[in-house]
Amino acid sequence: MINGSTLDVEAIISTRYKAYKFRIFPKESQKVLLAKTFGYVRLVYNHYLDVKTKRYEENKKSLSYTECASNLVKLMKEKDFFKEVNSIALQQAHRHLDNAYKNFFRDKTVAMSNMSSCS
């Protein structure tokens, strides 16, 4: 009993999850924007992977997430083409790299490679 009521354990345990599949049909302008977004995300990921790797090879210390994030903001202000896409996608790519980098040093069985083209 919790707070005077009985707890239905079976109702909690038998939670069902649903999955949905969606197919999108973007217009030509949307296809261009998606391609640019994926390309710039790949560019940011590979750029900061290269920066972190070189920094680690030089002095066995990596850049922190906040150092790279502030650098990303400066980079986005310098390069006008980054303004064409959503900045959150670029920041999320950087977050994914940071998590991959941490996991790589935490567990050597985790592989970390460049984000390459899907085609």
Q: Which of 28-37, 66-75, 108-117 has the lowest mean pLDDT?
A: 108-117
pTM, full prediction = 0.71
Is 115 a member of any domain? no
Residues of the domain holding 86: 28-106
Residue 55 in any domain: the answer is: yes
Residue 81 in domain: yes
| 40 is a domain residue | yes
Tally the domains of the chain. Answer: 1
3-state SS string over the chain? CECCECCCHHHHHCCCCCCCCCCCCCCHHHHHHHHHHHHHHHHHHHHHHHHHHHHHHHHCCCCCHHHHHHHHHHHHHHCHHHHHCCHHHHHHHHHHHHHHHHHHHHCCCCCCCCCCCCC
112 within domain boundaries: no
Q: What is the CA radius of gyration of the chain?
A: 21
Q: Percentage of the chain surpassing pLDDT 90?
A: 40
Q: Would you state the pLDDT for residue 119?
A: 46
What are the backbone angles phi and psi of residue 60, rounded to the nearest 5°? 55, 25
Cα distance between residue 50 and residue 105, in whole Å = 16
In a domain, 53, yes or no: yes
Write down the pLDDT at residue 8.
Answer: 57
Residue 54: what residue type?
A: K
Determine which of 53-57, 58-62, 88-92, 111-115 has the lowest per-residue pLDDT on average.
Answer: 111-115
In a domain, 114, yes or no: no
Token code pair at residue 98: 């940071």
Instruction: Indicate whether 20 belongs to any domain.
Output: no
Report, as an integer, the average pLDDT of 2-31: 76
